[in-house]
Amino acid sequence: MKEENKDRYSQWKKIEEDIKRCKKCNLWRSRKNPVVGEGSIESKILLVGEAPGYWEDINGRPFVGRAGKFLDELLEIAGLKREDIYITNVLKCRPPNNRDPLDEEIKACSPYLDKQIEIINPDIIVTLGNFATRYVLNKYGLKSEPISRIHGRVFKSEKTIITMYHPATAVYNPKMKQVLTNDFLILRAYTKGAKKD
């Protein structure tokens, strides 16, 4: 293994351990399992959701409930599989009753996401939902608006950022399935040559 890759993997193991031990906000008190993320850290495509839900908290894996099943369908539309990408969330622990993340929770948890982005160094970041979109666009100095106004848009910065609704939107409102499908077709156009180094 190359020295650079060894360093990358040791940094990754450290961040995983830091997340598992984290007590920077009160979410650790009610969580079952922190959800670090899943996929290839060699990927050039990073999907960022908002926070784990009930099933993610139980399993310690991102997007495993109904929204996760729909995400798998959307990835297939984009010509991708979970093993082609890395999936994580802004928050690593489930907010009680799946409530929206609080600003102080995002502030406490976002350094982990920043470090994940640094280690993975993706070419494309796909944001899923309002909170992920706002955080990532602001991180790269771009203006954020509600996801209803900017879904399916491509922003260029030091990364290509594609903003989308969260897949759970379509679980609660089936009319949104086509909107998300169209947005993932935009991702498909950007995936050629971006899956792995």
CA distances (Å), origin 110, targets 27, 76, 133, 138: 14, 29, 13, 12
List the one residue out of 93, 98, 40, 29 whose CA is nearest residue 67. Answer: 98
Q: Residue 1: which residues within 8 A CB-CB, separation 6 or more?
A: 9
What local confidence, expressed as pLDDT, does residue 197 receive? 43
Instruction: State pLDDT tens for residues 17-68.
Output: 999 999 999 999 999 999 999 999 999 999 999 999 999 999 999 999 999 9
Residue 126 sits in a domain of what CATH number? 3.40.470.10
186 found inside a domain: yes
Per-residue pLDDT at 182 exceeds 90: yes
Q: Total structural domains in the chain? A: 1
Q: Considering the domain boundaries, does residue 196 fall inside one?
A: no
Q: What is the mean pLDDT of the chain?
A: 94
> Do the domain assignments include residue 171?
yes
pTM of the model: 0.93
How does pLDDT run across 95-139, given as a tens digit for each residue?
999 899 999 999 999 999 999 999 999 999 999 999 999 999 999
Torsion of CA 24, 128, 76, 149, to 10 degrees: -170
Residue 197 lies in a domain: no
Q: Which two three-digit tokens encode residue 188?
A: 């498909």
54-80 core/surface letters (b: 16 or more CB in 10 A; e: else): eebbeebbbbbbebbebbeebbeebeb
User: What burial letters (b/e) apply to 20-46, b meaning 16+ CB within 10 Å?
Assistant: eebeebebeeebebbbbbbbebebbbb
Q: Is 178 in contact with 143 (CB distance < 8 Å)? A: no
Nearest to 104 by CA among 24, 161, 48: 24
**Six-digit token pair at 111?**
């350094």
**Structural domain span for residue 58:** 3-191
